[in-house]
Amino acid sequence: MLKYLVVYASETGNTKQIADEIFYALPSDSKEEINVRSWNGRHDAETYFIGYWVNRGTCSLEIIDLITSLHRKNVAFFGTCGMGNDPDYYKSVESMATVWLPDDNRYLGSYFCQGSMPVTIRDRYEALRPKLGDSAVDRMIAIFDEGQRHPDKKDLLRANVFTDTAIRKIPTANDYSKIMDIF
């Protein structure tokens, strides 16, 4: 069994960039990175980093299938979405995955950042001007334009730090032996 498996869904490459950084940060040769479309249950690991992008308010069925299949694993989530810099929104994005995670796994936390979106979405925002008014649409466009610069170097650095923080939550054999010393 592998020590670490990074599995991601990514349509336009943003989430894959984060997956690549997490994979790079993992301190072991016993690791693999795969697109969720190639995941088939034969890939197994002690620790999973599972990445997704937010698509119309949720994550893909393939990701949900993977999460619900996991038992007695260490699990962390990561991903990208259209919005940035909003911890409350990131909490709701996190819950899209945690809600499916069986209780017998050890949850290591999550990391999310903003990702760029196709320009067709900007055009759709513009078309909403008559309905929503200029100030609302200007705010949406500003978020969109900021997103075009993400994930950036800082996002990748934060993903790297997150990886380190997450794996420190996994008890080591040494931790277990200290517990056994008590008895």
Question: Under 8 Å CB-to-CB from 21, ≥6 apart: which residues?
Answer: 156, 159, 160, 163
What's the chain's length in residues?
183
Q: Which residue is nearest to ligand FMN (CB)?
A: 115
Residue closer to ligand FMN (CB basis): 4 or 53: 53
Residue closer to ligand FMN (CB basis): 54 or 167: 54
Q: Please report how close the Cβ of residue 48 comes to ligand FMN at its closest, in angstroms.
A: 18
Rounded to an integer, what distance in angstroms lies between the CA atom of residue 39 and that of residue 17? 18
**Cβ burial, residue 146 (10 Å; 0-12/13-18/19+):** middle
Rounded to an integer, what distance in angstroms lies between the CA atom of residue 50 and that of residue 121? 26
* Residue owning tokens 């996991």: 70
Q: Please report how close the Cβ of residue 18 comes to ligand FMN at its closest, in angstroms.
A: 8
Q: Please report how close the Cβ of residue 130 comes to ligand FMN at its closest, in angstroms.
A: 22
Q: Please report how close the Cβ of residue 168 comes to ligand FMN at its closest, in angstroms.
A: 26
Cβ-contact 45, 32 below 8 angstroms: yes
Cβ-contact 97, 77 below 8 angstroms: yes
Q: Please report how close the Cβ of residue 83 comes to ligand FMN at its closest, in angstroms.
A: 5
Binding residues vs ligand FMN (CB under 6 A): 10-15, 53-57, 80-83, 115-118
Residue in 28, 14, 160, 165 with CA at minimum distance from that of residue 84: 14
